[in-house]
Structure 1
């Protein structure tokens, strides 16, 4: 059975490992090409010079105040041009194991078919309006059958094949670099309209209904994948969270980042720009037992710490997380007392601004260097790449 999932762009290799841990028999498509695929706004820093960990091989470690962007890795380790960013395709004989939640995954799809787009706009329109030759491909039969069984086991609501209702979304995926961006000759709306018409013509008993089965077409350059969504596309960001802020980090990114940081058992993981607190919450949720850590969520804004407090209670993590009001430039911790700093830093877009970050970033990095242990690490997310150099 074939599936594909959408995951945080640049952290595909973390999701690959999670899939392999759950599905021991899985065959990952392009596995050798998704080991390292970092976008340019992820940074790893270290408090002392030493060899970088295996997860970021090819990246030379730097002092904390000399941060190096992770995308400066040898070209051999980057994604090849034909691989869809933020998407992992795999095949397994144990689809029942997918009933457990994949924490790095945004949406899980049963794959219907994979095809190549024609070169010109007119041919693309004809191809999609013909339903991508859906009737001639057997993939939709197994995908639809699995969707029925999935829904029966999850919602106890099944529907007959001939009365299936659907909606179509056409997504054009982007590559990491501007030079690699595809130049589609049509819009996503046009792609959805053409493909919706084609599926309706190929499957005349199916009815359009925007609230029901979501059929998604992922397009990247000349490659496209068609799949049926098994998980809710509208509920992918609510895990462990009931309070949201203006700049809430996606839970899948928070999970991947904390998993990547790999804090030592019994250590302290700090997020000094915690916002809704989702990073330390995800850390204490998946690092349990002998791998358990203690999370600290700090923020200078009282409304953010209130949200983090609510979410720690909502997620059942209250006893494993301390939420406190703290200025990231004057952290209330002893020297070398924190093992990991993992944070989504202020970008200066929706709140704050560049001028504020010019002052904030150097002060925070100096303070982070002070509180990190000798072999501590900071994993930071920001768009202010110029300020991190």
Structure 2
């Protein structure tokens, strides 16, 4: 738990309105058309919706002993497009949302870092909603599907404070290039169901968010982090580990292709693998995954008892094809069995969580 809030909560948003964008607006080749419509639509949100949201926001600030006033109220606007693309870039859309807020509250001030409230607009797929409704119909009564170009619904809301300190700084004081958000790291740590006495390893720990969140919330297991990036380990991760001062976690500089751990010494591996341009080229990452899979099999214990036939490795990557390709090698099919593959949403990207069961065989080549 963190300052009275649930550790898994990233953000609480009070919904003000759901806006349906006319297709002629969304697909217009004039970028100002969408911007002008969004500006006016935000300004036109009902006074009752604003009044209720502001009152709830005031009470939340009061509970946390934080000041809240509508005079010189600081705010910022955030637009989360997900997989959508538009002529207007995300910062431009956010600016038009801010313009709409300023039209209604002309004494509010924009502040991108020190703000009392955050306006959030999420783009939600109408096709996804329609498909969910469609599959709920009995098969023989389903209406004819009518697939049209997908125009998003805009869910407009205002955030509530959930803790005195920013979630970004929960149990850490330094950030890496691709650091996970603490609530997501907590959810991942919760997923693996570490038992008393387990040793959990993140071999690509970066700034150390996964082992730190795991160690803080699951104190009966030992959470170990390592990473090949010397600067990140010594300059960022170690400062975070020293900051939290937990006695059931540690971090060291190590290459995932040649880990310094003994055979059969790790119970569970949980890691966000390198992926994306900032972590190297497609070719570099493609060479890394097979070597890492072989090394993880060496250091993982064969599950026994209640954990028998359950995953020993949980790997996150956007490089779905690369990891699938590595798992399909003949030698790798003797080491790992893919139990499940699930979609996650991290930083605007769809990524994949692979749960792998360790097989009690080794490569004979």
- TM score, norm. by length of structure 2: 0.66
Contact kept in structure 2, 1:117 and 1:124, CA below 8 Å: no
Q: Could you say which residue in structure 2 is the equivalent of 1:104?
A: 8
- Pairing partner for 2:103 from 178, 189, 201: 201
Q: Could you say which residue in structure 1 is the equivalent of 2:45?
A: 134
Question: Are residues 173 and 100 of structure 1, via their aligned partners in 2, closer, same or farther at CA, if it must alter by over 3 Å?
Answer: farther
* Pairing 1:185-196 to 2, within 5 Å after superposition: 186-196=88-98
Pair 1:174-2:174 in alignment: no
Q: Could you say which residue in structure 1 is the equivalent of 2:191?
A: 260
- Pairing partner for 2:21 from 98, 117, 141: 117
Q: Could you say which residue in structure 2 is the equivalent of 1:248?
A: 179
Give the distance between the partners of 1:252 and 1:134, measured in 2 at CA: 31
- Pairing partner for 2:248 from 302, 309, 320: 320
Question: Are residues 222 and 304 of structure 1, via their aligned partners in 2, closer, same or farther at CA, if it must alter by over 3 Å?
Answer: closer
Contact kept in structure 1, 2:82 and 2:123, CA below 8 Å: no
Question: Are residues 276 and 116 of structure 1, via their aligned partners in 2, closer, same or farther at CA, if it must alter by over 3 Å?
Answer: same
Give the distance between the partners of 1:198 and 1:359, measured in 2 at CA: 49
Give the distance between the partners of 2:170 and 2:22, measured in 1 at CA: 39
Question: Are residues 209 and 348 of structure 1, via their aligned partners in 2, closer, same or farther at CA, if it must alter by over 3 Å?
Answer: closer
Give the distance between the partners of 1:258 and 1:214, measured in 2 at CA: 28
Give the distance between the partners of 1:249 and 1:356, measured in 2 at CA: 22
Question: Are residues 103 and 123 of structure 1, via their aligned partners in 2, closer, same or farther at CA, if it must alter by over 3 Å?
Answer: same
Q: Could you say which residue in structure 1 is the equivalent of 2:55?
A: 145
C-alpha root-mean-square deviation of aligned residues, in Å? 3.1
Pair 1:382-2:312 in alignment: no
In the TM superposition, residue 164 of structure 1 has moved relative to its aligned partner by 5.5
Give the distance between the partners of 1:330 and 1:153, measured in 2 at CA: 50
Contact kept in structure 2, 1:113 and 1:140, CA below 8 Å: no
In the TM superposition, residue 279 of structure 1 has moved relative to its aligned partner by 1.2
Q: Could you say which residue in structure 2 is the equivalent of 1:77?
A: none
In the TM superposition, residue 300 of structure 1 has moved relative to its aligned partner by 3.3
Pair 1:230-2:160 in alignment: yes
SS of 1:350's partner is helix
Give the distance between the partners of 2:174 and 2:34, measured in 1 at CA: 47
Question: Are residues 207 and 334 of structure 1, via their aligned partners in 2, closer, same or farther at CA, if it must alter by over 3 Å?
Answer: closer
- TM score, norm. by length of structure 1: 0.62
Structure 2 runs not aligned, ≥5 long: 26-32, 125-150, 304-310, 325-365
Question: Are residues 217 and 286 of structure 1, via their aligned partners in 2, closer, same or farther at CA, if it must alter by over 3 Å?
Answer: same
Looking at CA atoms only, which structure, 1 or 2, has the larger radius of gyration?
Answer: 2
Give the distance between the partners of 1:301 and 1:199, measured in 2 at CA: 43
Contact kept in structure 1, 2:78 and 2:118, CA below 8 Å: no
Give the distance between the partners of 1:192 and 1:364, measured in 2 at CA: 41
Higher relative contact order (CA 8 A, sep 6+): 1
Give the distance between the partners of 1:313 and 1:338, measured in 2 at CA: 23
| CA deviations over 1:91-140 (Å, ceiling 9, x no partner) | xxxxxxx973233333322222333223332487346415353235x222
Contact kept in structure 1, 2:43 and 2:104, CA below 8 Å: no
Q: How many residues align?
A: 279
